[in-house]
Amino acid sequence: DMAIGGSTNAVVHLIAIAGRLGIPITLNDFDAVSRRTPWIANVKPSGEFLMEDFFYAGGLPAVMKEILYLLDGDALTVTGKTIRENLERAQCHRREVIRTVVEPLNPEGGTVVLYGNLAPDGAVLKQTAASPRLLQHRGRAYVFETYQEMRAQIDREDLPVDENTVLVMKGCGPKGAPGFPEWGHIPMPRVLLNRGVDDMVRISDARMSGTSFGTVALHVAPESAVGGPLGAVRTGDEIELDVAARRLELRVSAEEIKQRLAQFQPAPPHYARGYGRLFLEHVTQANLGCDFDFLHK
């Protein structure tokens, strides 16, 4: 996933699978893998080419052979052969699509993990699909309290935002939505699209499709619906993103954040009975895989 600039969803899914198997994996493990894995697949939305081009260039076997030094080549697979044996005949046919590790598109992998007072338990960002100019950014927040509010306002011609604004959306995490939907790719405001602006920093506790482009911080944990600091953000607050430092900070004093969160009132539960109630009572936060807590070993 890191080498191809793949989906941020891989993080939450793999943590959930590992949790059911009793294998301890954390967000820090993913960030460590990202730091040592070069991005070599020049595929949209991060790169230039289509998945069809990737397939004909050699596809995943060609990528795996290129990064075999990072894999356990002796691991047995469903073919009855080891990973190394499976890759013996793999070839790359187009180096502009699948790069070498010596000349990667980026020395680090696709997804990075961010921490800070806005995401004490972590957030993720797909740096290969982000705008380089925004990887270190400071701007004023414009806050949407809900997904529905965002949809109602995003195309307003008088929306008071500019290219430096940081869009923040709350209530879209595992419990808040509920269900952790792929709402994190907040659309660009029409007022900015009309000026030719194609990206801005966006932050939420939601997920995002692997086909989406933009400088988007996702999976903020703990989510706003359970009293996470994302819920304390107000329009006009300054937010700082520093991908190299892996930081996501709300530039408001700790005391002010504490006072704001003390006023937090959880919304009435979406479900009072049945599976919905079971989900709300037992689903874990994004950093723990958004899975039922009773299924973890």
Query: What is the reported pTM?
Result: 0.96
Judge whether 7 counts as a catalytic residue.
no
Q: Are 104 and 34 in contact (CB under 8 A)?
A: no
Side chain identity at 266, as an amino acid letter? P
pLDDT of residue 111: 98
Count CB atoms within 10 A of the CB of residue 189: 24
pLDDT of residue 297: 87
Torsion over CA: 218, 210, 1, 11 (sign) = positive
CATH numbers and ranges of domains, the chain:
9-86 (no CATH), 111-262 (3.50.30.80)
Burial of 91 (0-12, 13-18, 19+ CB in 10 A): exposed
Segments of the chain with pLDDT less than 70: none
Longest Cα–Cα distance of the chain, Å, equals: 61
3-state secondary structure of 124: strand
List CB contacts of 226: < 8 A, sequence separation 6 or more.
Answer: 173, 175, 176, 266, 285
- Residue 82 sits at φ, ψ, to 5 deg, of -80, 165
How does pLDDT run across 61-114, given as a tens digit for each residue? 999 999 999 999 999 999 999 999 999 999 999 999 999 999 999 999 999 999
Q: 7, 209, 224, 253: which one is catalytic?
A: 209
How does pLDDT run across 141-154, given as a tens digit for each residue? 999 999 999 999 99
pLDDT of residue 275: 97
7-21: buried (b, 16+ CB within 10 Å) or exposed (e) per residue?
A: bbbbbbebbbebbee
